[in-house]
Structure 1
Amino acid sequence: MTDSATLTPAEVRRQKTAHRLTAACRRLTAERGLAGFTVEEVCEEVGISRRTFFNYFPSKEEAVVGVDEQSELQRFAEDFLARPSRGWSAVLDDLADLVASHAVTSGLSVEEHLELHAALEREPKLLARFMGITRERDSQLVELVAHREGVPTTDPHARAAVALFGAAIRTAGEQLFASGGIPDFGEALTQVIADMRFLLTDPRKAQP
């Protein structure tokens, strides 16, 4: 994903402000629900004006979501397509590497991810929003993988790769919050994919 070293100073400042707005909105939503705080409270905490808030997000709901979906996907697509096709097994590795890099550059801590989960539990409509985002991104990932590998979007391998990757993302996320789990998302994701690959390629013969 986009590394902060490639951004201009203005872009870095904008990224940091967006991160602070999202973190504040997630925490307040987890504590009080969306109706329990105002945009003005968020602005006062972050140190910006109400007008500036709306230059970043159209609503508190979108601030909790915290991503510019189209620009995020465009950057992801550019980075993914810049990597040459190396076979279906490498698709999972490339997706994991890029997502893990984003987890680092986004700057969101485990505590902030916990606040996101708490906010989603507090506001079911936000959970529905995230589920919709996930479905749409899965569809877009299938198109992206199919394009790079030179197959139609109906190809079962492209769909299976994205389905496996989605399962790996969910499992790695659960490990972040589990007692004794792997605290680093990128490491957890890499391990989950390695475990999947082992199960799918285990050479041992089935016992009679």
Structure 2
Amino acid sequence: MSDSAEFTGRAAKMRRTRIAITEHARKLTAAHGINGFTIEDVCEPVGISRRTFFNYFPSKEAAVVGTPPDLLESEAIRNFVAGGARTGRISATLLDDLVETAAEMMDEVFAIAGTITHVNAIVAREPSFMEKFVSESEEVHRRFTAMIEEREGLEPGDPRARLAIEVLGALLHSSAHTFFASSSTGSIGPVLRNALALSREVLTGTPQSVPPASPPVAPSSALPGT
């Protein structure tokens, strides 16, 4: 096995483990509250030790929130930032590249079984988690805005970067509703691409072609502990 193949296999295994940890932490929090279970209770169904747990998350609370520290340091993010011309003008592919990058990130989020159901139950049982989820979302928003500024060569605080994120947020909001309402499986990418095409049609009055769907990601039932 080549070094690169070994690294890829290890990264995929770590991703599955990280997702499984958050999935079980959310299940237990939704059912018992954050103080109603131990870290060992999370580790047992995942098949890891307490020591291994802390290689992924610093606490039970962090595992429940679930955003891995490397989510915004992935190859997809690096490719996104490298895709701009850094000219101080918005590149023609910005929204398309944003949608593709967001789709990959959301596929990671949605891979956690019961995401919406468990998050709603957690907030109902532990209202303090609302602030944690919101704070995490705001941090991702801030970092994404900075990446757009870097990619396009914009000054910090440029309103165009903020507007691009707000457009993406609206597309994600609409697409998530469509995705879950239709009990879709696989990647949210096709739904997001369709939403972007429809938005462009609304803005320009010109029908837009929808890019072909990417291959679906494996459903969460293929992950360990599900």
TM over 0.5: yes
Q: How far did 1:10 drift?
A: 3.0
Aligned residue number for residue 23 of structure 2? 23
* Residue of structure 2 equivalent to 1:133: 136
Aligned in 2, Cα 1:31/1:15: closer, same or farther, shift over 3 Å? Answer: same
Deviations along 1:8-50, one digit per CA (max 9) or x if unpaired, are: 4333322222111111111112222212222121122222222
Task: Tell me the SS of whatever aligns to 2:35.
Answer: helix
Higher helix share: 1
Mapped to 2, the partners of 1:182 and 1:54 lie a distance apart of: 33
Once the 2 structures are TM-superposed, how far is the Cα of residue 65 of structure 1 from its aligned partner?
Answer: 1.6
| Equivalent residue letter for 1:81 | V
- What does residue 198 of structure 1 align with? 201
Unaligned runs of 5+ in 1: 204-208
* CA drift at 1:89: 5.0
Whether contact under 8 Å (1:110, 1:176) holds in the other structure is no
Identity %: 35
Matched, 1:62 2:65: no
User: Which residue does the alignment assign to 2:105?
Assistant: 102
| Residues in 2 aligned to 1:112 and 1:126: alpha-carbon distance in whole angstroms | 14
Coordinate RMSD, CA, aligned: 2.8
Please report the TM-score for the alignment, with normalisation by the length of structure 1: 0.80
Residues 72-110 of structure 1 deviation map (CA, whole Å, 9 limit, x = unaligned): 212254121222449455212101101212344667156
Q: 1:45 to 1:117 in 2, by over 3 A?
A: same
C-alpha separation between the residues in 2 aligned to 1:117 and 1:186?
Answer: 24
In the alignment, what sits opposite 1:12?
A: 12
Q: Aligned partner of 1:14: which letter?
A: M
Q: Which amino acid aligns with 1:90?
A: T
Displacement of 1:175 in angstroms is: 2.3
The aligned counterpart of 2:147 is: 144
Q: Secondary structure at the match of 2:93?
A: helix
Give the alignment partner of residue 185 of structure 1, picking from 185, 188, 192: 188
Q: Which deviates more from structure 2 when the two are superposed, residues 107-116 or residues 168-177?
A: 107-116
Letter in 1 for 2:172: I
Counterpart of 1:140, as a letter, is R
* Amino acid corresponding to residue 32 of structure 1 in structure 2: H
Range with greater deviation from structure 2 (54-63 or 168-177):
168-177
Distance in 2 (alpha carbons) for counterparts of 1:40 and 1:109? 20
SS at match of 1:148: helix
Tell me the distance in 2 between the aligned counterparts of 1:117 and 1:197: 32
Instruction: Flag the 1:35–1:18 CA change in 2: closer, same or farther, 3 A.
Output: same
- What's the CA shift for 1:191? 2.1
The CA distance in 2 between the partners of 1:42 and 1:110, in whole Å, is 15
Letter matched to residue 22 of structure 2: T
Q: Structure 1's 125 and 105: CA in aligned 2 closer, same or farther, altered over 3 A?
A: closer
Distance in 1 (alpha carbons) for counterparts of 2:178 and 2:205:
23
Q: State how many pairs are aligned.
A: 199
Residues in 2 aligned to 1:60 and 1:175: alpha-carbon distance in whole angstroms: 31
CA contact (8 A) 1:27 1:116 kept: no
**In the alignment, is residue 174 of structure 1 matched against residue 183 of structure 2?**
no
Q: Which amino acid aligns with 1:165?
A: L
For structure 2, the 5+ residue unaligned runs are: 207-226
DSSP 3-state at the match of 2:58: coil
Question: Hey, what's the Cα distance between the residues in 1 that align with 2:183 and 2:201?
Answer: 20
Per the normalisation by structure 2, the TM-score is: 0.75
**Alignment partner of 1:37 is 2:40:** no
Contact 1:114/1:177 (CA < 8 Å) preserved in 2?
Answer: no
Runs of 4+ in 1 over 6 A off after TM superposition: none
